[in-house]
Amino acid sequence: MDFLQNNLIYCIPALGLVGIIVMMIKSAWVNKQDAGDQNMQELAGYIADGAMAFLKAEWRVLSIFAVFTAALLAYSGTITEIKGVPMHSSWIISISFIIGAVFSATAGYIGMKSATKANVRTTQAARTSLKQALKVSFTGGTVMGLGVAGLAVLGLGGLFIVFLQVFHVTSANSTEMRTAIEVLTGFSLGAESIALFARVGGGIYTKAADVGADLVGKVEAGIPEDDVRNPATIADNVGDNVGDVAGMGADLFGSYVATILATMVLGQEITVTDKFGGMSPILLPMVICGLGILFSIVGTWFVTIKDDKSNVQTALNLGNWSSILITAIASFFIVKWMLPETLNLRGYEFSSINVFYAIIVGLVVGTIMSIVTEYFTAMGKGPVNSIIQQSSTGHATNIIAGLAVGMKSTVIPILVLAGGIMLSYHFAGLYGVAIAAAGMMATTAMQLAIDAFGPIADNAGGIAEMSQLPPEVRERTDNLDAVGNTTAATGKGFAIASAALTSLALFAAFVGIAGITAIDIYKAPVLAGLFVGGMIPFIFSALCIQAVGKAAMDMVQEVRRQFREIPGIMEYKAKPEYEKCVAISTKASIREMMMPGAIALITPIIVGFTFGPEVLGGLLAGVTVTGVLMGIFQSNAGGAWDNAKKSFEQGVMINGEMHYKKSEPHKASVTGDTVGDPFKDTSGPSMNILIKLMSIVSLVIAPYIAVKAIASEHKLEVRKEIRIEQKTDSLGHIITDTLTNTTDTLSR
């Protein structure tokens, strides 16, 4: 036990390394599976090549951004003081930023590579059984989940150890420790910056292709989804990988890192006497998330079914809940072992057992969010059925029903989040809110495995359709795909919930570093900042949706041109020019992702340096509230529209009459799905990165704007302390009673 206490900090990156090793083993297993016939492999090759081409184009642009930003951070790190106030940073923050950006891009690459290997192998496995198809697709998703979580824990834990040595940290509450953690924020900034562009760019790519393929292929030409004759079908399948896999991987990598970091920043403010040199509140979130990788690996063992009649969703839920339960049990022993009996943060005193309760709150919030999202987006449930029923009266009523479902779906999640925030704060103050988010994120490896399974199953169905395999193969892949739509929606719900708690933790850290004690919305500038912050998610969403519309128009024109100018496509006598559609999506996504990204990065800097930390705090509050609402609304509405459309493939009962594909209600559902595509895969999921990235940028600039606030504030606050000095004689009688007034002048 003494050895573990003395070397706990080194166990953290080791846990990340374990995740990466298991990831490599599972990746090797996927690669050994049968990839099908030559035609299937050729189609899968087109998808893999298109995904890689997009990533390379995206990386070329982002490398310029990364170098420029790193240079600015390096310069800011050389500033030692401003107006007599010391700065606790270093030029090394630029290196931390670059490493975070590289790790984030690598996380997305691992997921994309795994998905493009697993998709065709899932199709081939579906020729034998649903059980084998689930095993291949879920293992492919597990590769991504373990890769993302492993890289995050390895990167954070490893850099933390390095920075402790570089800055000669001697105690947990020292100036050197503050510098080490502040430099570590560069890692999170790099991760979230790349995640934003990966998510927005990938989302624009996938939905431009999807909308273009649907409008011309299904609606105009009347050919099935993923038909090999559709020139946009390869770009559509590529989009599933670059958006829902690479984008989501980078997204949750950023969430994972930001959550741990925010808890570490708050933990550094807590002075404790423990067995770890006073570092237990700082190390706790890394330990919990590191062990969460192991618990997620255990959870994957439960994801299996018996035969084609088994419920795939139940198997995935069993794996998810088992990993959450193990994490909850283990957290009790970890907290009791690591933390002292009492802790105090900013005057709020709490016990170690209360920290455990806060972790449980985070796990419960994450679980409820997943369940609620599943209810609002799953086939056969009331919300999706309501959209189906209203499809019978046309396209407009389908749209109205989907919007209503999305808006209603915000109620329970927001109440759950509000309750979670209040409970976790009640148990352990601001540290409780942060550690609740860390508890929620502990099973990220499992959550991502379930999430990445969906796009792999979607691609598998596409390859089955393009290869014209027997109907039973497509039935099995459709079964997986329908569940995958729901798991993708629940994954986005989980990501948004984690982003909300993470942003609050980052917000609390920002307030502490910026030197402000309260944000008074009665002040006109702060209230103005609140309104501007509330507006930003709307303009951000508008730019994302508009980008999809523009790119989709280009895609529609290209698909129409090929149908018109290349004779023999519809008769299977000529091969479409898939690469031209891939190029359209790639160029459009790279071009259109820049403006939304610039808004997230530049707005906090302009507001912070112009108006100060309190107005910036108002801006962050507005962004967080409307960002969470917009994210839940758009993701759930899009997911419900999608599964309403898919329900017609199995047949639905409307007013006592069965309706199938190509019926009028089905055509209305296709319109709803097309509208919902940018909602659920572009603007909706990007909301959680938006609110986190703006909070992280604010945290990085907090020391500089705090100086400005202190220097420019003329009102002074006076604190009076009364010290009573008493002396007693040998008999215990009081012989003096002196009152001493001490006045300290503090800058607000």
| Per-residue 3-state assignment (H helix, E strand, C coil) for 650-701 | HCEEECCEEECCCCHHHHHHHHHHHHHHHHHHHHHHHHHHHHHHHHHHHHHH
Q: For residue 713, what pLDDT is reported?
A: 39
Split at pLDDT 50, 70, 90, the class of 735 is: low
| Distance, CA of 167 to CA of 173 (rounded, Å) | 13
Distance of CA 58 to the CA centre of its chain: 19
Per-residue confidence (pLDDT) for residue 358, from 0 to 100: 94
Q: Mean pLDDT highest for which of 242-246, 339-343, 408-412, 520-524?
A: 408-412
Asked whether the predicted pLDDT for residue 741 surpasses 60, the reply is no
Backbone region of residue 380 per phi and psi (left: phi > 0; alpha: psi in -120 to 50; beta: other values): left
C-beta of residue 530 within 8 angstroms of C-beta of residue 519: no
- The more confidently predicted of residues 620 and 481 is 620
What contacts 603, CB < 8 A, 6 or more positions away?
A: 536, 619, 694
Residue 79, exposed/middle/buried by CB under 10 A (0-12, 13-18, 19+)? Answer: middle
How distant, in Å, are the alpha carbons of 17, 213, 270, 430 from that of 543? 39, 21, 42, 34
Give the pLDDT band of residue 742 (cuts 50, 70, 90): very low
Task: Report whether pLDDT(38) > 70.
Answer: yes
- DSSP E strands in 218-370: the ranges are 342-345, 348-351
**pLDDT (tens digit, 9 = 90+) per residue, 332-353?**
999 999 998 888 888 888 899 9
Length of the chain, in residues: 748
Structure token digits, residue 249: 């991987």
Q: What whole-number percentage of the chain has pLDDT above 70?
A: 92
For the chain, the average pLDDT equals 84
Can you give the pLDDT at residue 4?
A: 65
Q: How confident is the model over 77-91, as pLDDT tens digits?
A: 787 777 666 666 788
Q: What pLDDT is recorded for position 630?
A: 93
pLDDT at 716: 37
pLDDT digits (tens, 9 = 90+) for 670-697: 889 888 888 888 888 888 888 888 988 8
Distances (CA, A) of 405 to 292, 486, 608: 34, 15, 37
Q: How many helices (H) and strands (E) does the chain have?
A: 21, 8
More confident residue, 611 or 707: 611
Answer positive or negative: Cα dihedral of 424, 430, 436, 437.
positive
pLDDT in tens, 368-400: 888 888 889 888 888 999 999 999 898 999 999
Task: Quote the CA–CA distance of 439 and 435 in Å, as a whole number.
Answer: 6
Tokens 């359209």 correspond to what residue?
584
SS (HEC) of 81-139: EECCEECCCCCCHHHHHHHHHHHHHHHHHHHHHHHHHHHHHHHHHHCCCHHHHHHHHHH
* pLDDT > 70? residue 182: yes
The answer on pLDDT for 710 being more than 60 is no
Q: Confirm if 626 and 537 have CB atoms less than 8 A apart.
A: yes
Q: What is the pLDDT of residues 625-651, one digit of tens each?
A: 999 999 999 989 998 998 898 888 778
Gap between the Cα atoms of 711 and 595, Å rounded: 34
Using CB atoms within 10 Å of the CB of residue 449, give its burial: 0 to 12 exposed, 13 to 18 middle, 19+ buried: buried
- How far apart, in whole angstroms, are the C-alpha atoms of residue 240 and residue 232? 13
Q: Which two tokens stand for residue 488?
A: 């993708």
Per the model's pLDDT, the better-predicted residue between 319 and 216 turns out to be 319
- Placement of tokens 């924020």 in the chain: 185
Q: Give the list of residues 6+ apart from residue 365 with CB closer than 8 angstroms, or none.
A: 416, 417, 419, 420, 436, 440, 497, 501
Question: What percent of the chain is predicted at pLDDT more than 90?
Answer: 26
Model pLDDT, residue 139: 92
Task: Give me the pLDDT at residue 729, please.
Answer: 57
- Residue 99 has what pLDDT? 94
Cα–Cα distance, 505 to 30 (Å, whole number) = 38
Neighbour count for residue 396 (Cβ, 10 Å): 12
Higher pLDDT, 35 or 153: 153
- What residues have CB less than 8 Å from 210, skipping those under 6 apart? 236, 239, 677, 681
Per-residue confidence (pLDDT) for residue 411, from 0 to 100:
94
Q: What is the mean pLDDT of residues 546-574?
A: 85
pTM listed for this prediction: 0.83
Confidence of residue 2 (pLDDT cuts 50, 70, 90): low
What's residue 715's pLDDT? 40
481 confidence band (pLDDT: 50, 70, 90) = confident
Q: Which residue has the tokens 């917000």?
A: 507
User: CA 75, 258, 490 angle in degrees (round to 5)?
Assistant: 145
Please determine, for residue 501, whether its predicted confidence score (pLDDT) is greater than 80: yes
pLDDT at 109: 85
User: Do residues 706 and 511 make contact, with C-beta atoms less than 8 angstroms apart?
Assistant: no
- Among 156-165, 248-257, 416-425, the least confident range: 248-257
Is it the case that residue 743 has pLDDT exceeding 60?
Answer: no
**Which residue has better confidence, 745 or 428?**
428
How far apart, in Å, are the Cα atoms of 440 and each of 135, 366, 370, 491, 625?
26, 6, 11, 12, 19
Residue 229, pLDDT > 50, answer yes
Half-sphere exposure of 593 (CA within 13 A, CB side): 33
- Helix H or strand E encompassing 499: helix 471-514
